[in-house]
Amino acid sequence: ALKLSGSATAFLPSVFAEASCLYSLELLAAEPAPLHALWRAPWLPRLERLVLRVPSLGPDGLAPLRGAPLPRLRELRVAPRDVRGVCAADAAALAACGLPALRVLKLSRLGLGGAAAVAAAPWVAGLEDLTLSKCADLAHRGGGGPSGACSEARASVADLAAVPLTALRRLALSGGSCGPGLDGGAVAALLAAPWAAGLERLELSGALLGGCCGAARDAMGGLAAARLPRLSALRLSCGLTAADVAGVLSKAAWLHGLTDLDLSFNPDLGSEGFAAIAGLSTPRLARLGLRFSGVSAVGLRSLALAPWLPQLQGLALDDHAVKAAAKAHRDVSGGGVYVGLGGIALTYLRIAQQVKRGFTYEHGAYLKKHTPAHALGLAREFAAADEALLPAGRRVTFLEGYSGSLALRAALAAAGGDAAGGRALAEALAAYHRSTVSRLPPGECELLYGRAGYLYSLLWLERQLGPGAEVVSHLLAQGREGAAGLGQQQARHWGLMYTWHGKQYLGAAHGLCGVVYVLLHCLPAVKESDDAAGSGLRALTAACDALAAAALPSGNLPSSLGSLEDRLVQWCHGAPGLVPTMLKAEEALGGGGRYLRAARRAAAAIWERGLLTKGVGLCHGISGNGYAFLSLYRATGEQQYLRMAQAFAVFAAERWQELYEVPDRPASLYEGLAGAVNFWLDVVDPQHSQWPGAEL
């Protein structure tokens, strides 16, 4: 089985020449893929599964497949993103293929005449799962206006209804975005087909169910009147209100047999909508999904009174308004602390903490309108939007992943007085190790993307969670293995080493500095990991010594092992990331001043070359470099480092507008303005300063 995404699809010709044992192929291309190599592949007839999610099928479309024997293919998904989509000629070429084993067919952007061509295919009778999404035939604005459109839609529906789909168990249809869709007669005609009685799952969405409220009610009436004795799962998306949909569904004879119901509404789902949904007679319902825009506490209380609620095994409430608000912030990128809305949430949490400590407008900052409650409220709003945009399957770390979202929301719950909610989220963070972190590939250890980043989330939340010791043990084992790969002498010198993308990086984001920093906060677990294979504490100390000695004559840290290039003075790959690690090593290991001296040399390099032109953020910007001075000020109490931090803060305050557009995500925490806001807050209250996402 092979799955290629993004730029990897450029290697298709060479991969196809060697893929003699391939049975499943997925292409998820961001750029046009060389599909001509696929059509010529000698092993194509042996494929059992083919998924094409590509920008375009190319000028020839699926024509090269016409008449091709594909005797083993059981699943075919074709989803081009261009306007051409899967045209009628493509559908006809597909219909002419030999597909005797095909059971699952999913076609997206099916053009006019496409549905009729599919219906005429000799193999269509064997389908068990059929999806026609964004289908122009089913919701086309015909030349004769709405009536012409409906007649065209009825014609394609008649083609589908006439096919002997005796094995069909799941049908998913969605119309195009520009037409009036099906009327009640067309829906009734489709679901009056003999094969409809065998349907177990039905999905109707897009513009399919009418383009106006009257047509949509008519279409819904046709659905409710259908005879669907085996239907157990229904997914609907339409422009009607929840009350209208619930009113129509309540008349359906098949409603009592539903175990899975998913409804999407464009209008607000207020208290009346929730009450209507709660009143549905669904004694077997096990899962309910509601997608809507806007929710009220009264509406949720109505839903809580539903008689079938206790029997639910799954409930998903998806608010379009939250996602829309999140996506409206164009100067950040989706979810996550690093460059997403999580970083904005963390910034408001920091504001709330500062104001709670008595930091007010009179102290010189522009926080006059912020009370702790107001700032926490904003933080919770951004954190909720951040969660909506950050799937659990993404990165595992505090800065880039789901553990950061869990830790942040747990802290916000506790700060807002919701101790039970905070504990529940903390437990979810602990469970995340078992479900996800423990399954990471061996090499993923760094702070930005790997195990050290998850461990940071645990430490940031200041909880004694069980998985901590296990993660520490894994990090040490991987570090020893990486050091051993350098040879015996180098292994003794470094103690620990990690590889990311084929290089042994030394910096904080992807390299040794970041991993060592979080391990230094876990000395009890490090000592517990000691065994016959060697001392974890000895390896950690060796790594700290080696990092201190690795600095270049300027005091800057090379970006990777073996590099002598003295160019990058930034948190991710240079001296700024070394400073917190050396200071923590001095505190935790008692270095006799050698680690502090390394931190001072690094600070000298930052003072000389740290006013960067890449923006005011934390990763590779002025504010991140300025935080190194605050770290040294807290550790030493020496005023010179506070003055250095203040100088960087003033420079950032004077230049942030001209530097704002330089990074890709100019409002984000690690690339942009949110990082500077945190830095300014901490410069005026340096004793409580903390480098967000990099210090504990």
For the segment 621-647, what is each residue's pLDDT rounded down to a tens digit? Answer: 999 999 999 999 999 999 999 999 999
The whole-number average pLDDT for the span 437-451 is 82
Where helices occur in 192-319 by DSSP H, the ranges are 213-225, 242-249, 271-278, 297-304
Which three-class secondary structure state does DSSP give residue 362? helix
Instruction: Give the chain's count of helices (H) and strands (E).
Output: 26, 12
pLDDT value of residue 410: 87
Residue 657, both tokens: 């507008």
- Is residue 542 within 8 Å of residue 494, measured between CB atoms? yes
CA–CA separation, 117 vs 101, rounded Å? 19
Looking at every residue in the chain, the average pLDDT score rounds to 81
Query: What is the token pair recorded at 680?
Result: 């300014």
SS (H, E, C) 485-500: CCCHHHHHHHCCCCCE
Higher model confidence: residue 493 or residue 206?
493
C-alpha radius of gyration, the chain, whole number = 30
Which pair of tokens denotes residue 128?
A: 């068990």
3-class state of residue 315 by DSSP: strand
* Cβ partners under 8 Å of residue 36, min gap 6: 58, 60, 64
Task: Check residues 508 and 176 and name the one with the higher pLDDT.
Answer: 508
- For residues 580 and 552, the answer to whether their CB atoms sit within 8 Å is no
- How confident is the model over 471-491, as a mean pLDDT? 86
Given a contact cutoff of 8 angstroms between Cβ atoms, the answer to whether 409 and 471 are in contact is no
Second CATH level (architecture) for the domain 214-331: Alpha-Beta Horseshoe (3.80)
* Most confident by average pLDDT, 19-28, 188-197, 606-615, 652-661: 606-615
> Higher-confidence residue: 580 or 67?
580
pLDDT number for residue 305: 75
Q: What is the DSSP string of 88-124?
A: HHHHHHHHTSB-TT--EEEEESB-TTHHHHHHT-TTG
Domain boundaries, the chain: 1-137+162-168, 214-331, 333-439, 462-598, 611-695
582, 606 Cβ separation under 8 angstroms: no
488 confidence band (pLDDT: 50, 70, 90): confident
Helix axes 673-683, 341-356, angle to 10 degrees: 20
- Inform me whether the pLDDT recorded for 6 exceeds 60: yes
Q: What is the rounded distance in angstroms from the CA atom of residue 302 to the CA atom of residue 653? A: 50
Q: How far is 392 from 653, CA to CA, in rounded Å? A: 36
The number of beta carbons lying within 10 Å of the beta carbon of residue 164 is 11
The pair of three-digit structure tokens given for residue 636, joined into one six-digit string: 């030493």
Report the pLDDT averaged over residues 492-520.
Answer: 91
Question: How confident is the model at residue 394, as a pLDDT?
Answer: 63
Binding residues: 572, 619-620
- Determine the average pLDDT of the residues in 218-227: 83
List the beta strands (DSSP E) in 9-59.
24-28, 49-53
| Distance (Å, whole) CA 685 – CA 646 | 11
Cβ atoms 180, 212 nearer than 8 A: yes
**Average pLDDT estimate for 254-258:** 93
Q: What is the mean pLDDT of residues 355-371?
A: 57
> 171: phi > 0 → left, psi -120 to 50 → alpha, else beta; which?
beta
Q: What is the pLDDT of residues 177-210, one digit of tens each?
A: 444 455 556 777 788 889 999 999 999 875 555 4
- Rounded to the nearest 5°, which phi and psi values hold at 28? -115, 85
User: How far is Cα 254 from Cα 225, in angstroms, rounded to an integer?
Assistant: 9
Cα–Cα distance between 353 and 204 in angstroms, integer? 48
Percent of the chain past pLDDT 90, that is, above it, reads 28
The neighbour count for residue 419, using CB atoms within 10 Å, is 10
**pLDDT at residue 143 tops 50:** no
Looking at 634-693, which runs of residues are DSSP E strands? none
pLDDT given at position 148: 46
Q: What pLDDT is stored for residue 363 in this prediction?
A: 45
Report the Cα 300 to chain-centroid distance in Å. 27
Q: How does pLDDT run across 306-334, given as a tens digit for each residue?
A: 888 888 887 776 656 555 555 566 666 77
Q: How far apart are CA 681 and CA 350, in angstroms?
A: 8
Tokens of 507: 């910096």
Name the residue among 647, 637, 657 with its Cα closest to residue 680. 647
For 222, the token pair is: 């046709």
For residues 33-58, average pLDDT: 83
- Residue 584: pLDDT band (50, 70, 90) is very high
Q: Are 470 and 433 in contact (CB under 8 A)?
A: yes
pLDDT at 147: 45
Q: Are 451 and 467 in contact (CB under 8 A)?
A: no
Examine the pLDDT at 660 and tell me if it is beyond 50.
yes
Note if the pTM is more than 0.75: no
From residue 535, give the alpha-carbon distance in Å to each of 425, 516, 540, 591: 34, 15, 9, 18
Chain position carrying tokens 């298709």: 12
More confident residue, 215 or 678: 678
Contact yes or no for 688/682 (Cβ under 8 A) = yes
- Residue 268 has what pLDDT? 56
- Residue-wise pLDDT tens digits, 537-555: 889 999 999 999 999 999 9
Confidence at residue 232, expressed as pLDDT on a 0 to 100 scale: 95
**Residue 424 pLDDT > 90, yes or no?**
no
Question: Strands, E, within 109-220: which ranges?
Answer: 129-135, 170-175, 201-206
Q: How far apart are CA 396 and CA 15, in angstroms?
A: 30
Whole-Å CA distances, 100 to 21, 50, 69, 104, 255:
21, 15, 9, 12, 35
CA 448 to chain centre: 15
Residue 401 gets which letter from DSSP? B
For the record, the structure tokens of 526 come out as 């490090």
How confident is the model at residue 230, as a pLDDT? 95
- Binding-site residue ranges for Zn(2+): 572, 619-620
Q: Between residues 111 and 223, which one has the greater pLDDT?
A: 223
Q: Which residues does 418 contact at the CB level (< 8 Å), separation at least 6?
A: none
Residue 485 has pLDDT above 60, yes or no: yes
